[in-house]
Amino acid sequence: MKVFATGKEIREHYRIHELRQPGLVPTMGALHEGHLSLVRAAAECCRMVAVSIFVNPTQFNDPEDLVKYPRTPEADLQMLSEVLRENDFVFTPSVEEIYPESDTRVFDLGEIGEVMEGAHRPGHFNGVAQVVSRLFDIVRPSAAFFGQKDYQQLTIIRELARRHYPKIEIIACPIVRESDGLAMSSRNKRLLPRLRERAGEIYRTLIAAAAMASDFEPSEIKDFVADRINMIPDFRLEYFEIVEDATLKPVASVWEMSPEKSYYGCIALWAGEVRLIDNIEIGLR
Ligand code: PAF
């Protein structure tokens, strides 16, 4: 595996090896098994894989969150060296490489950018769209791999690609969970041990909520989730929303739901000072 910090080095690599258009796995580092599952999926279908590691400042609506975001560069490269092949590469750009000048682009993401994370983290998805488009422009991948844990982000990137990068295939990979069900996330590293012990309750609550879908109204399921999460000491629910998969339109009544469509129950919560998100597919029986 190679490590490059600039687009120039990447272009030179493509020229020397007469290879182009890798499968791209964009990350912000602090890698875990969830990221590695994306890298393995990319290696299975692409002759060359690129993994970017870049903590993107423009997607942090809270400056303190940017400072506290975990950074483990040596461990990341060590993990990647065990799965990447000779001509695969890691792209570790500086802020100046990604944003030679300040990025003032505003992406009109429509309603999919306004609900859930969009409502609670203003500007977040515009920053995600900025960095992903810069990565697409520099790396020029044939496909890009994203985890389903960030379900809304995935939907937004699909829309970004549909509008601006129609030749890049967006591939969604399943959520990877710890043995107690907690969705793997770089932010889990920041959980205090006593909060980490309680965090398996998040997925158990999502499973219970999904099982209620055919018999209860979304408002009742939301109350159930809020009660169960807020009952865990030092946990606080930010939102739980049942949304239609592609449009992310929140479902107001069970009568709006169709057995032919897919729905997701999406949750955001605070465990102490750490904000976690997760989701579960919800079907009607
Ligand atoms: O999901 C992430 O880690 C980030 O939002 C992404 C897609 C790498 C963009 O910075």
Q: What is the pLDDT of residues 154-175, one digit of tens each?
A: 999 999 999 999 999 999 999 9
Domain end (from 149, 173, 197) = 173
Is 179 among the domain residues? no
Is 109 among the domain residues? yes
Shared domain check, 240 and 119 = no
Shared domain check, 226 and 169 = no
Closest-lying ligand 1 atom to the alpha carbon of residue 186: 3
Name the 3-class secondary structure at 140: coil
| CB contact at 8 A, 59 and 43 | no
Shared domain check, 33 and 164 = yes
The residue whose CA is least distant from atom 8 of ligand 1 is 27
- Determine the pLDDT at residue 285: 72
Shared domain check, 230 and 140 = no
- Ligand 1 centroid – CA 29 distance (Å): 9
Beta strand pairing status for 2-4 and 89-91? Answer: parallel
For residue 135, the domain's CATH number is 3.40.50.620
Give residues (CB < 6 A) around ligand 1.
Answer: 26-28, 56, 59, 128, 131-132, 150, 153
- Ligand 1 centroid – CA 132 distance (Å): 8
For residue 213, the domain's CATH number is 3.30.1300.10
| H/E element, 114 | none
Q: Is 17 a catalytic residue?
A: no
- Determine the pLDDT at residue 137: 98
How many domains does the chain divide into? 2
Q: Catalytic one among 35, 120, 124, 164?
A: 35
- Ligand 1 centroid – CA 254 distance (Å): 33
- Ligand 1 centroid – CA 146 distance (Å): 8
Shared domain check, 195 and 163 = no
Is 178 among the domain residues? no
Residue 19 pLDDT > 90: no
The residue whose CA is least distant from atom 2 of ligand 1 is 27
Closest-lying ligand 1 atom to the alpha carbon of residue 26: 8
Shared domain check, 243 and 153 = no
Shared domain check, 205 and 230 = yes
pTM of the model: 0.96
- Determine the pLDDT at residue 241: 98
- Ligand 1 centroid – CA 25 distance (Å): 9
pLDDT in tens, 252-282: 998 999 989 999 999 999 999 999 999 999 9
Shared domain check, 134 and 227 = no
Shared domain check, 114 and 141 = yes
Determine phi and psi for 250, rounding to 5 degrees.
-60, 140
Looking at residue 177, the DSSP 8-state letter turns out to be B
d(Cα 1, Cα 83) in Å, to the nearest integer? 9
d(Cα 123, Cα 168) in Å, to the nearest integer? 24
Residue 93 pLDDT > 80: yes
pLDDT band at 284 (very low <50, low <70, confident <90, very high): confident
Domain end (from 145, 173, 201) = 173
Range of the domain at 250: 186-278
For residue 52, the cross-strand partners are 26, 91
Closest-lying ligand 1 atom to the alpha carbon of residue 157: 7
Closest-lying ligand 1 atom to the alpha carbon of residue 54: 10
- Determine the pLDDT at residue 80: 98
Q: Which alpha helices (DSSP H) does 95-167 contain, by range?
A: 95-98, 117-120, 124-139, 151-164
Shared domain check, 204 and 160 = no
Per-chain mean pLDDT for the chain: 97
pLDDT in tens, 97-143: 999 999 999 999 999 999 999 999 999 999 999 999 999 999 999 99
